[in-house]
Amino acid sequence: MGIVLLVAVMAAQAAFVPPTAEERYVADLRARIASGDVEAEVALGNLYESGDVLPQDPAQAAEWYRRAADKGHAGAQMNLAMMYLEGQGVRRDVQQAVAWYERAADRGDAIARFSLGSIYENGANGVARDTVKAATWYRKAADQGLVTAQYRLGLMYRDGRGVPRNQGQALVWFRKAANQGEADAQIELGILLSPGHGSSTDIVDAHAWLNLAASRWKDEAKRVKAGALRDELEKMMTADQRAQAYRRATEWQDAHAWQRQGAASKPGIRDSGSGAR
């Protein structure tokens, strides 16, 4: 009898598999949710959406985001809006996306504000194009330092869409975005500062920005375009002006060596909650 019992105990010990770190993490999230932790709800939704730890389940992700969103969590509201916009885990519904983006935007979320600007600029199913609203939302996100919003607002001032055409304001917003490393803004700034494009001509500055854009584009065709514009400017410049321009570009690169192209926040990034492992 004793031998039989010993064998049974040994078999049970051999069959026991300790929980993995991922399993412990999920269990901890569920315990925190049971105690009312909204951030844990967002984190669990993120796990279901990504499929990295739990089996991917967009419907479950949307449900957990909704629970947190209903409690006023701005990140969850933005995540749920993105799922409605993309039709992930829920039926695609742009009007619902706008409603949730607005709730997140009202709580100060810069990406939600940018996303509203993008929707209104282009229009979408059930949402009419409205460039005035687009410019308003871009301005709110741009004031928070969101580089893509600064660039888009610059375009709207340049073209007079949703706001009065104003080259001075276009330069202001292109420069803000350019200084954050946005190559799109750098080339637009270089063009506006080039001779023949307005009253704010600065050929040295124009060359420096075009040179930076040519070195930072990931798109080969755009990189070639920026380089060609820079090279055309060089034909009109003195040797001293060219030297100044290359020096300015080098100084900018040295001062912004920590930046990577596109390092600033861009739309499309989910809030993952604070359920860090």
- In the prediction, which pLDDT does 19 show? 75
Q: Hey, which CATH number is domain 22-91, 3.30.9.10, 1.25.40.10, 1.10.3470.10, 2.60.40.60? A: 1.25.40.10
Residue spans in the chain of domains classed CATH 1.25.40.10: 22-91, 108-177
Give 114's Cβ-side CA count (13 Å radius).
22
Q: Which tens digit of pLDDT belongs to each residue from 222-253? A: 888 899 999 999 999 999 999 999 999 999 99
Q: Report the candidate in 174, 142, 139 with the shortest Cα–Cα distance to residue 155.
A: 174
Residue from 215, 163, 220, 213 nearest 193 by CA: 213
**pLDDT tens-place string over residues 37-65:** 999 999 999 999 998 889 999 999 999 99
CATH 1.10.580.10 fits 108-177, yes or no: no
Instruction: Judge contact between 162 and 156, C-beta under 8 A.
Output: yes
In this predicted structure, what is the pLDDT of residue 116? 97
Regions in the chain scoring below 50 on pLDDT: 7, 9, 12, 14, 261-267, 275-277
